[in-house]
Amino acid sequence: MFDFLIQSFQIKSMSIFEAVMLICFGASWPFQVLKTFKTKAVKGKSRLFLSLIIIGYIFGMINKVINGVDIVFWLYVINLLLVSTDLFLCLLYRSREN
């Protein structure tokens, strides 16, 4: 029974750390999206970088679906939407620059 409690605590602690990480990452994306939207300048933005972040968030979401959906899953969704918006704006404005 004691082992079960230790395993449960470790899983919950890990989710807390994962949640804080996603909150910290998520806090920066709205500013980036707003900056891109206002300036319409995408010079120096890497589509590959944004795509890799999106792929990472998708795999994080898959992990949550396989191992149990919790509130952290929704943090992945929010971050994924923000980064996808930034990538969309990057593609939109880059095509207008050319």
pTM for the structure as a whole: 0.80
pLDDT at 54: 97
Judge residue 14's burial from the number of C-beta atoms within 10 Å of its C-beta, 0-12 exposed, 13-18 middle, 19 or more buried. Answer: exposed
Name the domain count of the chain: 1
Locate tokens 């795509």: which residue? 51
Q: Which domain holds residue 66?
A: 2-97
CATH (domain of 56) = 1.20.1280.290
**98 residues of the chain, pLDDT tens digit each:** 555 544 544 455 568 889 999 999 999 999 999 999 999 988 889 999 999 999 999 999 999 999 888 889 999 999 999 999 999 999 999 887 76
What confidence score (pLDDT) does residue 2 get? 53
